[in-house]
Structure 1
């Protein structure tokens, strides 16, 4: 939803300054039983979200927090703009329209008036969200818009989210990994239970307008993953384009530019970008608890096979 770096940095720094002024108990609000950051959204915005009007050519990206959505977002933006071949004037028009959104680029963020302002964005819009299917605006699934769903193994997701929580001024820190782990397993974190999120998206795994791709799959072969994404959205690129974009959007390349693209938020967003870091945090008991939870929620599903849980999450 945004290509404007300067505006993102300005918005982020403003959010951070507001966040440190809030007492921990005021940092979240609950909507339909799920917690959200009060500095980024509100119950009124979540209600207004229902009015969002999806377009048939919208490019929609969704993923639970810390599954790699910022990385995927940059890839998709590069793929989309390469396919579209925007002129300098067209790109300027798009950037100016995005400036007027006045919010961080996630569908559920901003004031209740954001959905009227979104109508003024030129097509093709790239829409990002962390929401599961049942909380998406009705128009998203009713339109012909295609949805790219990013998933990541839950152990690395939990670890990445733990560091994100403790580094974000707009979220209350946890006193210890053990305290956080209990909250994560019980869905008492922002955006709720990751397991519930996965269970919901598994129901759409064969939907013609939905494509599910894993963080690990992209780490294994980014070019192949991007080719799948391009084919899904109908983007036309040549081999050189894919190689160029892959080089531009490696984790290391994005981390090195993170101060320029995201200001002080950069170090928080781009931490390690590796697979398997969970082994440095999980106790034997925690490891077994998550294995049981995953099996209980997703054992035998197509999504579990796609995620290769046995490959990435076994000690």
Structure 2
């Protein structure tokens, strides 16, 4: 995977992708990659390569709707040694909004991004920052991403059905592109860059095995947190506590209420064909 100069070579433009029903979904395309059309990003994206990382940076990467903000919150709790929710704008450390927030100047950063690895600023090669990559059941991810776009249809302009969105997703014409391509690229990224300190974990592990998952994350971050703190964070990030605090929280396996039998069979066929040799392969997806 050639990461050098990928951003400078990539043409940035706005493209509207049309689903089978004629509904249009607007995205920014950066080379092959597709990103959410954040205001100002098209004009400022190529400046991203100039962003400098710091040795103590923690970088959370994920496909959209995979639990990135959920993990970002847990990382901050581990760093501060308490289960208090972070009382700041969740977009404040969002890499794609570097030009209108304080990511560049802030210290002690937990940076989050949906960018594929080849579009990341390459300065991390010179640093000792840590990468945490979170992945989630792709079917739940697709449903959540569809709801994100249609719940904000007045802002985002997409009013299509899930059937139409499914076709766009299978073609890779949605935010972040095809899920399988995205995840395989990150898997390859860690394999060919053994000096990068990285950890790949699933969103489902944090929901089903919160204590052991948060402990594993704490050890990776080299933070000495006792069992009481780990348990307190796990409780704070549980479904019931987050719901009571009116924080957004996605359920698992909601996809069964959305996918038709034919859509499920079609997705499973591609998943098994392309993911069969991946360490991320899981029968729970099928």
TM-score interval, smaller chain = 0.7 to 0.9
Unpaired runs of 5+ residues, structure 2, are 1-22
Aligned to 1:173, which of 158, 178, 189? 158
Q: Does 1:231 align with 2:219?
A: yes
Partner of 1:242: 230
After TM superposition, list the pairs within 5 Å mapping 1:95-114 onto structure 2.
104-109=92-97, 111=99
Q: For 2:119 and 2:111, how far apart are their aligned partners in 1? A: 15
Q: For 1:215 and 1:288, how far apart are their aligned partners in 2? A: 23
Q: Deviations over 1:41-98 (max 9, x none)?
A: 4223221111111111101111111011121111111001118xxxxxxxxxx99xx8
Q: Does 1:57 align with 2:34?
A: no
Unpaired runs of 5+ residues, structure 1, are 1-23, 84-93, 259-265
Q: TM-score, normalised by structure 1?
A: 0.74
C-alpha distance 109-26 of structure 1, shift in aligned 2 (>3 A): farther
C-alpha distance 25-47 of structure 1, shift in aligned 2 (>3 A): farther
Name the SS of the counterpart of 2:70 in structure 1.
helix
Q: For 1:110 and 1:141, how far apart are their aligned partners in 2? A: 19
How far is 1:34 from its partner?
3.0
Aligned to 1:212, which of 164, 183, 200? 200
Contact kept, 8 Å, 2:48 with 2:98, in 1: the verdict is no
Partner of 1:14: none
After TM superposition, list the pairs within 5 Å mapping 1:41-190 onto structure 2.
41-82=40-81, 104-109=92-97, 111=99, 117-122=102-107, 124-168=108-152, 169-190=154-175
Question: CA RMSD for the aligned pairs?
Answer: 2.6
Q: Does 1:313 align with 2:271?
A: no
Higher relative contact order (CA 8 A, sep 6+): 1
Q: TM-score, normalised by structure 2?
A: 0.81
Q: For 2:29 and 2:103, how far apart are their aligned partners in 1? A: 24
Q: For 2:167 and 2:189, how far apart are their aligned partners in 1? A: 28
How far is 1:25 from its partner?
6.8
After TM superposition, list the pairs within 5 Å mapping 1:255-266 onto structure 2.
255-258=243-246
Name the SS of the counterpart of 2:74 in structure 1.
helix
Aligned length: 257
Q: Deviations over 1:148-194 (max 9, x none)?
A: 00000111111111111111243232421110000111111122221
Contact kept, 8 Å, 1:132 with 1:201, in 2: the verdict is yes
The structure that is strand-richer by fraction is: 2
Partner of 1:251: 239
Partner of 2:6: none
Name the SS of the counterpart of 1:279 in structure 2.
helix
Aligned to 1:277, which of 243, 249, 254? 254
Contact kept, 8 Å, 2:27 with 2:174, in 1: the verdict is no
C-alpha distance 249-291 of structure 1, shift in aligned 2 (>3 A): same
